[in-house]
Amino acid sequence: GPSQNRINEREARIFWVALILTPLLWAVFFIIAIFRLNVKWMLLVVIALVLNGANLYGYFKCKVGSTESFSSVTTDFLRKQVLQNAVSFVTREGTTPQANPMSQPSNTI
């Protein structure tokens, strides 16, 4: 029902704070790993930092992108796909396959 689709502001705030603080915490771990010259842990921290950064970026793009209407996004996507298909069809039609000169028969008596 309609009560299921409501967003609790407190829960949303906790979610976003945790989502932002997690990459910051990994950045602190990265600095510690640099000062201790521990390459093994630095690799782990870099992987975690990249994955958490991608997660934050994705959620941020979804939140900002939610202002666009779904129909405009799908229309733009379909328009782009039709244009790509038309260009690939035209370029495919304009090229003819080159014959291999070694495969042509020779005149022998």
pTM of the model: 0.50
Residue 65 has pLDDT above 80, yes or no: no
For 80-98, what is the mean pLDDT?
73
**Structural tokens at position 41:** 């842990």
pLDDT at residue 78 tops 60: yes
C-alpha–C-alpha distance, residues 40 and 45, integer Å: 9
Alpha-carbon span 44 to 33, nearest angstrom: 10
The Cα 34–Cα 63 span in angstroms is: 34
Place 1 in a pLDDT band, splitting at 50, 70 and 90: low
Q: Is the pLDDT of residue 33 over 60?
A: yes
Say what the pLDDT of residue 4 is: 63
Question: Residue 105 has which token pair?
Answer: 């028969």
Alpha helices in the chain (DSSP H): 9-36, 39-65, 70-94
Cβ burial, residue 93 (10 Å; 0-12/13-18/19+):
exposed
